[in-house]
Structure 1
Amino acid sequence: MSVKQRPNGVWRARYRDQNGKEHSKHEKTKKAAQKWLDEQTAAMVTGQWADPTAGRVTWDEWVSRWLTMQVWVPGTTTAAKTAVESVPWRMRAIRDVKHADVQMWVTRESERGLAPSTIRTRLNYVQMAFRAAVDNQVIARNPALRVKTPRQRKREAKMRTLTADQVATALESAGEFRLFVAVCVFAGLRLGEAAGLQVGDIDFERSVIAVRRQVQGTSIPSTRVVPPKAGSEREVFVPAELIDMLRGVGNPTPDAFVFRTVMGHLYNRNSAGEEWRKIRAAVGFDDEVTLHTFRHTFASNLIASGCDVVTVQRALGHSQPSITLNVYSHLWPSAEDKTRTATATFMGEVLATADPVRTPS
């Protein structure tokens, strides 16, 4: 590291990074050159240094490289690509993207009517890409930190759940697809998890279903059996009645899939969705009632029965309790509800004690 004056009077500061590569900058004064050198040195010591030339790559160039580093299932990769390709700075150098750019993108996405939950998801992937750029010394700071997202007002009101009568009606009309619907509503399995269920995943003695895989894809050629979403491997404790229904699957081979189409294929998102749409039309449900509605119904029943957030999280296979709360917090009693109930109970006890000893007038 050094600061030297050039023959033309300009001061040149230079240093070598951890890999031995030399970097330099010219300033009009020695003080300015030394200040820059001190900043670079401090950044290397604190781990905040980034290669000034690396940040010249465009956002598209960086995220293309970043996506190849991931070990995601295809569905996650598709969601990530949708997110990182929705930003307006795709052709700009990644080092030139500022916090204001990210905030403006989020604001405009909200103004054009994108759901708050969708914006949060997209921002999460964008933040991950920037964070990886920092970790790989492409940029020094993550400009997507502390970006404000739109508040989710009454989002939960749009969540559909079904009554016991509606579930019964769906099951009665489901025909050969009845058992598939049953594991969605009575075990809370996602569509892909139900499609990936094997006989060996069912513990008939303990009344437990193990979620060990999922089916991804929207067509027969694209169908793949992959591990569950991160953190979704779990055991679901289910009613004995559901286990009794599953006893009739017929094939005793542990690695046999429980559900297949009439043509013998595994169910994928489109084929399972098509079966459900037939049932939905038959019973008169509107288009907002999907197979995932049964999972919401499963969760709402757990919460209504007094299950705490960790219990619900584990049953649903959410990687963190915060995810469960983000989706279902409106179903738990509020602090006001708890206060009112607790006080009403106490008041009832007080009045019940006071009445017998009250002196008649």
Structure 2
Amino acid sequence: MSIRKRAWKTSKGEAKTAWIVDYVDGKGVRRLKTFAKKKDADAFASKADVEVREGVHVADRDTVTVEAAGKMWISGSEAAGLERSTVEAYRQRLDLHVSPFIGKEKLSKITVPAVRAFADQLRSEGRSPAMVKKAVTALGAILSDAQERGLVVRNAVKEMSRRRNGSEKRAKRLLQPGVDIPTPAEIRAFLAALDGKWRPILLTAVFSGLRSSELRGLRWQDVDFQKATLEVRQRSDKWGTIGSTKSHAGQRTVPVPPVVVNTLREWKLQCPLGELVFPNGLGNPESHSNIVNRGLIPAMEKAGLTIDTGKLDDEGNPILEARYSGLHALRHFFASWLINPKEAGGLGLDMKTVQARMGHSSIVVTADVYSHLFPRGDDSKELANAADALFLINAT
């Protein structure tokens, strides 16, 4: 590994200098890399020397662009058998949010400042905070895949995440009743507004906490009317393809109250023939968008669970929209109902049981999302006594 200065004159007689790092990579190939400043050459030489000795160095000529690595990442995801919806989401993030902004850059040029600049550019182009986070996460996954292929040494996204992880957790807003989670009073109004073909699935969602995909994949053989339980064994993706649950923990047995059992008994007599509990008119899985747009939102509006959009219609009247416009709000309510103490109308269950009913992959997920909803004991008296005892001990 050597560093030398090169001096020359241009055709116009202008003096130029550059610094060249001359080294042999881990494959025994001689490499030359040129820098305008000696400090940059020194920094590269130090880093490259360590990487070569550790057998992880990748020369710029041997790496690829972010876009090319992204295509390898997509191909690898398909080969690994990931769900169609997951691969499609990956492809959209690559094509719409990664490649147009940073796709032509070589992987070796993706540093922490480059990732920060990428995120800033996404924001300046009008991407939402959620989409910026997804795009940066996708870039990190591309770099991880490229590392496994020996195309890059560093994953700048992971380096940045380690630095910012604590602050992001502190900034994350907790779910709030009446904002993210329907209150018991709101659910009562919502249930009273349910009618027609959408009543069975939405009522079941409220009292079982099943995900949209799990509801759409539920079969009649999974409904035990005698034991009043639902067996979650499969799910339907947005294309109507039936597959396994989101995780192994997603396969679970969920007890349901009599109102759900009776409603499903009645619904079975009139629903389209087939094995699915909530099919469309052709007997296939009902689409998520239909459930939301034709069932959930109209019921929310009928129940008066709306918010002012701040806009006016042609007659000057305020335009309202549903306060809760996603099925996941009903899942959040179910979790809060499991957690709330019995005197408050809930079941008062412990966190491990809540995790099992929700089908979370680990209790950490349950704690991260819902721990603030669990009741806290009043230990003020014990705290005062313990403090007094401490003072007595010090006094002696």
TM over 0.5: yes
Q: What is the alpha-carbon distance in structure 1 between the residues aligned to residue 207 and residue 291 of structure 2? A: 17
The aligned counterpart of 2:39 is: none
Match for residue 204 of structure 2 among 177, 183, 197 = 183
Is 1:310 paired with 2:352? yes
Farther off after superposition, 156-165 or 132-141: 156-165
The residue type equivalent to 2:263 in the other structure is: M
The aligned counterpart of 1:207 is: 228
Is 1:75 paired with 2:82? no
The aligned counterpart of 1:239 is: 256
- 1:75–1:216: 8 Å Cα contact kept in structure 2? yes
Farther off after superposition, 148-157 or 298-307: 148-157
Q: What is the alpha-carbon distance in structure 2 between the residues aligned to residue 99 and residue 346 of structure 1? A: 46
The aligned counterpart of 1:126 is: 139
Matches within 5 A, 1:1-361: 14=24, 17=27, 23-26=29-32, 39-44=50-55, 48-50=56-58, 52-55=60-63, 57-70=64-77, 71-84=81-94, 85-87=96-98, 88-106=101-119, 119-147=132-160, 148=164, 150=168, 152-154=171-173, 156-157=175-176, 159-175=179-195, 176-217=197-238, 222-231=239-248, 233-241=250-258, 242-250=260-268, 256-262=275-281, 264-273=283-292, 274-286=294-306, 287-290=322-325, 291-305=327-341, 306-333=348-375, 337-338=376-377, 341-344=378-381
Q: What is the alpha-carbon distance in structure 2 between the residues aligned to residue 65 and residue 160 of structure 1? A: 38
The residue type equivalent to 1:164 in the other structure is: P
- 2:232–2:251: 8 Å Cα contact kept in structure 1? yes
Q: What is the alpha-carbon distance in structure 1 between the residues aligned to residue 369 and residue 122 of structure 2? A: 21
- 1:215–1:268: 8 Å Cα contact kept in structure 2? no
The residue type equivalent to 2:74 in the other structure is: L
Distance 1:324 1:102, change over 3 A: farther
- 2:205–2:215: 8 Å Cα contact kept in structure 1? yes
- 1:14–1:25: 8 Å Cα contact kept in structure 2? yes
What per-residue deviation string (whole Å, max 9, x for no partner) do you get for residues 88-131 of structure 1? 31221111111112133345656888665555444333322211
CA deviation after TM superposition for structure 1 residue 144, in Å: 0.8
Q: What is the alpha-carbon distance in structure 2 between the residues aligned to residue 27 and residue 119 of structure 1? A: 34
CA deviation after TM superposition for structure 1 residue 69, in Å: 1.1
The residue type equivalent to 1:78 in the other structure is: E
Long gaps (5+) in structure 1:
4-9, 349-361
What per-residue deviation string (whole Å, max 9, x for no partner) do you get for residues 209-253 of structure 1? 222222222xxxx4322323234522143234133433444379x
Q: What is the alpha-carbon distance in structure 1 between the residues aligned to residue 254 and residue 30 of structure 2? A: 63
- 2:25–2:31: 8 Å Cα contact kept in structure 1? no
Q: What is the alpha-carbon distance in structure 1 between the residues aligned to residue 155 and residue 230 of structure 2? A: 42
Distance 1:107 1:13, change over 3 A: closer
Distance 1:107 1:236, change over 3 A: farther
The residue type equivalent to 1:256 in the other structure is: E
The aligned counterpart of 1:353 is: none
* 2:231 match: secondary structure: strand
Distance 1:72 1:103, change over 3 A: same
Long gaps (5+) in structure 2:
3-19, 35-41, 307-321, 342-347, 386-396
Number of residue pairs aligned between Structure 1 and Structure 2: 320
TM norm structure 1: 0.73
The residue type equivalent to 1:316 in the other structure is: M
The residue type equivalent to 1:75 in the other structure is: S
- 1:51–1:137: 8 Å Cα contact kept in structure 2? no
- 1:50–1:134: 8 Å Cα contact kept in structure 2? no
What per-residue deviation string (whole Å, max 9, x for no partner) do you get for residues 8-66 of structure 1? xx99754664xxxx5322599xxx9x98996455222xxx34465442x2111111120
Distance 1:187 1:111, change over 3 A: farther
Farther off after superposition, 124-133 or 164-173: 164-173
TM norm structure 2: 0.67
Q: What is the alpha-carbon distance in structure 1 between the residues aligned to residue 202 and residue 191 of structure 2? A: 7
* 2:31 match: secondary structure: strand
The residue type equivalent to 2:353 in the other structure is: T
Q: What is the alpha-carbon distance in structure 2 between the residues aligned to residue 246 and residue 258 of structure 1? A: 8
* 1:91 match: secondary structure: coil
Q: What is the alpha-carbon distance in structure 2 between the residues aligned to residue 14 and residue 193 of structure 1? A: 56
* 2:218 match: secondary structure: coil
Distance 1:113 1:210, change over 3 A: farther
Q: What is the alpha-carbon distance in structure 2 between the residues aligned to residue 325 and residue 110 of structure 1? A: 31
Distance 1:125 1:236, change over 3 A: farther
